């Protein structure tokens, strides 16, 4: 997240930002839903700390382990790593 201020995001007037927390498939669904929400909340807190208006950041949700980006044939920490993420989607106009 520390690279975010150097990203192209700062070349836009943001209108809305949505955050979706994801997890790997280790653990129960209820545990992963809570963990995904914590991840999304952490990204929201970071965005607010660097100047993004909190009122434009919604929804901030978790889908837990329901939307993996990789399907691992072996349940390993390394293979599942890409599934542990927060998806950030923003809308706005260029400056």
User: Which of these ranges, 39-43, 83-87, 90-94, has the smallest mean pLDDT?
Assistant: 90-94
Provide the 8-state DSSP code for 32.
H
Q: Which two tokens stand for residue 25?
A: 């498939």
Q: Is the pLDDT of residue 6 over 70?
A: no
CA 31, 90, 12 angle in degrees (round to 5)? 145
- What ranges in the chain are assigned the alpha helix state H? 29-49, 77-80
pLDDT average, residue stretch 46-75 = 94
Please tell me the distance from the alpha carbon of residue 23 to that of residue 32, in angstroms, as a whole number: 6
Q: Phi and psi of 60, rounded to 5°?
A: -120, 100
**DSSP letter for each residue of 57-74:** EEEEEEEETSS-SS--SS
pLDDT average, residue stretch 2-28 = 81
């Amino acid at each position: 997240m520390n690279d975010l201020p150097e990203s192209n995001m700062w070349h836009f007037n943001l209108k809305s930002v949505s955050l979706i927390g994801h997890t790997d498939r280790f653990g129960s669904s209820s545990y992963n839903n809570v963990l995904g929400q914590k991840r999304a909340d952490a990204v929201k807190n970071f965005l607010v700390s660097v100047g993004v208006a909190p009122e434009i950041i919604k929804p901030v949700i978790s889908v837990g382990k329901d939307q993996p980006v990789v399907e691992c044939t072996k349940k390993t920490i390394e293979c599942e790593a890409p599934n542990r993420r927060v998806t950030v989607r923003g809308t706005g106009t260029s400056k």
